[in-house]
A = this chain, B = another copy of it.
Amino acid sequence: MDAYKAIVSKRDSRSYVDKPLDEGALRRILQAGRMAGSSKNTQPCRFVVVRESEQKARLAGCGQFAQHVPQAAAAVAVCLPPTGGDFDAGRAAQNIMLAAWNEGVASCPVSMHDRDCARSVLGLPEDWRVAVVLALGYPAPGIPLGRGIQRLSLEEFVRYERWE
């Protein structure tokens, strides 16, 4: 897919069909996360790929809006050490979700509101945390991507030289 088209057409989606991810696609998706730039090239993020049903169900129990995680073909937990920041996690997550969309795979970031729960389920070192879980799956047919909420206009988003 053309890069611009992939970027502007990507919508977060929580409805997936029951079909495992193509192995080559998953590898490219993870490569995209690996290649994300980071502050001073510290490469802080690590990814835990969860595909087993029981693990997905446990992860779903750590977030307030994570009910769809078990339906996802895979959940990729983006994990950070104490020195890592959410900005770099956002860059890596966006790379992962755009590469997924380029493979026809829909995705949605899922917050782990109970941090201790997510850390325990994934067996992370004590000082690490899950910045976000990315649910990935081939999109369910007939369900519109996103929830139909429009973006604000470009003029609303952009100012020139100064705020006003």
A positions within 8 Å CB-CB of B? 1-8, 10-12, 27-28, 30-37, 39, 41, 43, 45-52, 55, 79, 85-91, 93-95, 97-99, 101-102, 109, 111, 121-125, 131-132, 146-147, 149, 151-152, 154, 157-164
Contacts and interface: CB of A to CB of B under 8 A. Distances in A.
A122 B151 CA distance: 24
A107 B4 CA distance: 16
B12 A160 contact: no
Nearest to A128: B163
B98 A3 contact: yes
A111 B161 contact: no
A54 B58 CA distance: 54
